[in-house]
Amino acid sequence: MNRIIIGTAALFLAGPALAAEGEPFFSLRSTEFVVTLAFLIFIGVLFYFKVPALIGDLLDKRADGIKKDLADARALHDEARTILASYERKQKDVQDQAERIVETAKREALAAAEQAKADLKASIARRLAAAEDQIASAEASAVRAVRDRAVNVAVAAASELIAAKMSAADKNGLIDKAIGEVEAKLH
């Protein structure tokens, strides 16, 4: 407001210097006076309708809106930081959990490998035992086959020897008796 008064006073003081053309400054024929008067009336109308206060209110509202936007932006920024920190914690937790899972998987893989080795050793031992049983069974079968063959050869040799030295009736009696004994021993 002081500026307006100082500006108006400067116009009035500069008036006589401007009126050097021959017309007085405070005359309605003076263009400068009319323009100055219109300007002062315009300024008065602005003050009468409280335009500076309205402009001030609008500027205050605009400043309040900007402050509110800045506060909202700060709140969003803080919320974003909180969310970012939360995600970073979650990422660290997930990474730790993944490392634990990998460690557990490694331990389980090593345990499974050890179990597979033990199972393989047990399987080999079972197969060796089965092979030994088969060998023992084959040996027993071979021994029986040799015994059976030896008995058959002995019976055949005995029957030929007896047949050569005995009579036919004695031969038949001895053969029947020997066959009976062999059959009794074999079964």
Looking at residues 129-137, what average pLDDT do you find? 91
Domain that holds residue 20: 1-49
The answer to whether residue 172 is domain-embedded is: no
The answer to whether residue 2 is domain-embedded is: yes
Write down the pLDDT at residue 22: 61
Structure confidence at residue 95 as a pLDDT band (50, 70, 90): very high
The answer to whether residue 169 is domain-embedded is: no
Is residue 61 scored above 50 in pLDDT? yes
Write down the pLDDT at residue 19: 46
Number of domains in the chain: 1
Contacts of 43 (CB under 8 A, 6+ apart): 4
- Which of the 8 DSSP states describes residue 28? T
Structure confidence at residue 161 as a pLDDT band (50, 70, 90): confident
Question: Residue written as tokens 């899972």?
Answer: 101
Q: Is 33 exposed, middle or buried (0-12, 13-18, 19+ CB in 10 A)?
A: buried
Alpha-carbon separation of residue 93 from 59, 80, 104 (angstroms)? 50, 20, 16
The answer to whether residue 154 is domain-embedded is: no
The answer to whether residue 103 is domain-embedded is: no
The answer to whether residue 88 is domain-embedded is: no
d(CA 95, CA 71): 35
d(CA 23, CA 132): 146
Q: Supply the mean pLDDT for the chain.
A: 85
Is residue 2 scored above 80 in pLDDT? no
Looking at residues 18-43, what average pLDDT do you find? 81
Write down the pLDDT at residue 20: 47
The answer to whether residue 76 is domain-embedded is: no
